[in-house]
């Protein structure tokens, strides 16, 4: 199996054994958990748990619809059965009616009448041995899962390629903001100092205390922590995309952390150029999240 994998897939397979052919179709779409729904002939109900466990071995997430159909003649699947109690009741009723009407009939006539009545002779579905049914059905389920998995893996590879391209653009924009940060912080400090000096003109104040307050105010506009955390999240995102396991949920969580840092960064730097870049970051992040939502 290769990762990441999409949760969208389709697979179909047939298997013939003992004059019986089973067809299995598996369709899957994105879902928060592994949700398996099965439509199948009544005789397979006894295998429902086995079928779900077999499919869950392959898919950890996604809404999975399974359609199973069969055709052919299963040896011993049906037989005729006589309801002797019902036949006796019909016989007694006919004899009682004949006695009341003072009429008689031969045994052959009585047999013909009774055997023609509903449910005296009926077709009965034989109970199939569950292990025999499973032996006939399992190969079709396994191959249908494999075919669906192949489609999910192919789609996952496409999603990975798109996500890496978008992540590269995202990282590039973060680097541009990082490069601007020292200059923007210096401008912020100078602007604060100018505003404070203009308001405190003529007021005697300790220069050291003023410098300390300016540092505190300027520090509130420092985005170093946010940029460092974004760099870390970007690195983790790439690592998860290379992992040999399902990572959709972890990628989704990371993108939530992306958004948290972007919002904080935007609140600290209000210049038009950076504001435009934070909007670009959010746009890319939303596009990435749409893709991640479909990863297993």
- Are 146 and 282 contained in the same domain? no
- Are 198 and 279 contained in the same domain? yes
Q: What is the DSSP string of 10-60?
A: EEEEEEEETTEEEEEEEEEE--SSEEEEEE--GGGGGGHHHHHHHHHTT-S
Domain contains 208: yes
How confident is the model over 111-138, as pLDDT tens digits? Answer: 887 888 888 887 766 556 889 899 999 9
Instruction: Give the angle subtended at the CA of 220 by the CAs of 214 and 225, to the nearest 5°.
Output: 130
Give the residue, 140 or 87, on which the prediction is more confident.
140
Task: For residue 271, give both structure tokens.
Answer: 């210049």
Domain contains 4: no
Count of CB atoms within 10 A of residue 222's CB? 17
- Are 149 and 42 contained in the same domain? yes
Domain contains 111: yes
Partners of 35 in beta bridges: 63
Domain contains 1: no
Give the residue, 6 or 226, on which the prediction is more confident.
6
Cα 253 from Cα 295, distance rounded (Å): 13
Cα 199 from Cα 190, distance rounded (Å): 14
- Are 39 and 111 contained in the same domain? no
Predicted confidence at residue 255, as pLDDT, reads 96
Count of CB atoms within 10 A of residue 197's CB? 12
Q: Name the maximum alpha-carbon separation found in the chain.
A: 136
Domain contains 2: no
Predicted confidence at residue 49, as pLDDT, reads 96
pLDDT confidence band for 149 (50 / 70 / 90):
very high
Predicted confidence at residue 97, as pLDDT, reads 80
Asked if 82 contacts 117 with a C-beta cutoff of 8 angstroms, the reply is no
Predicted confidence at residue 76, as pLDDT, reads 47
Domain contains 188: yes
Contacts of 294 (CB under 8 A, 6+ apart): 6, 7, 8, 30, 155, 159, 248
Mean pLDDT of 156-177: 95
Domain range for 87 is: 78-125
- Are 137 and 162 contained in the same domain? no
pLDDT at 10 over 80: yes
Determine whether 251 is exposed, middle or buried from the number of CB atoms within 10 Å of its CB (0-12, 13-18, 19+).
buried
pLDDT confidence band for 66 (50 / 70 / 90):
very high
pLDDT confidence band for 88 (50 / 70 / 90):
confident
């Amino acid at each position: 199996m290769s990762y990441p994998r999409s949760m969208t897939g389709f697979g179909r397979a047939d298997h013939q054994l003992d004059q019986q052919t089973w067809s299995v179709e598996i369709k899957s779409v994105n879902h928060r958990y592994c949700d398996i729904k099965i439509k199948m002939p009544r005789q397979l109900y006894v295998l429902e748990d086995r079928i779900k466990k077999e499919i869950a071995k392959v898919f950890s997430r996604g809404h999975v619809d399974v359609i199973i159909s069969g055709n052919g003649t299963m040896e011993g699947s049906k037989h005729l059965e006589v309801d002797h109690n019902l036949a006796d009741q019909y016989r007694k009723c006919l004899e009682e009616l004949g006695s009341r009407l003072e009429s008689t009939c031969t045994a052959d006539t009585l047999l013909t009448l009774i055997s023609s009545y509903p449910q005296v002779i009926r077709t009965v579905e034989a109970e199939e041995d569950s292990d025999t049914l499973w032996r006939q059905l399992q190969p079709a389920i396994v191959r249908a899962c494999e075919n669906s998995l192949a489609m999910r893996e192919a789609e996952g590879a496409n999603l990975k390629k798109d996500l890496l391209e978008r992540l590269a653009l995202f990282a590039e924009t973060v680097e541009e903001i990082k490069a601007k940060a020292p200059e923007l912080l210096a401008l912020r400090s100078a602007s604060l100092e100018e505003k404070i000096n203009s308001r405190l003109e003529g007021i005697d104040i300790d220069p050291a205390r003023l410098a300390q307050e300016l540092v505190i105010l300027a520090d509130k506009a420092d985005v170093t922590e946010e940029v460092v955390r974004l760099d870390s999240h970007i690195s983790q995102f790439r690592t998860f995309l290379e992992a040999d396991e399902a990572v959709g949920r972890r990628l989704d969580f990371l993108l939530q952390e992306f958004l948290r840092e972007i919002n904080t960064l935007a609140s600290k730097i209000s210049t038009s150029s950076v504001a435009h870049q934070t909007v670009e970051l959010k746009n890319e992040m939303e596009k990435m999240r749409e893709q991640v939502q479909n990863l297993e």
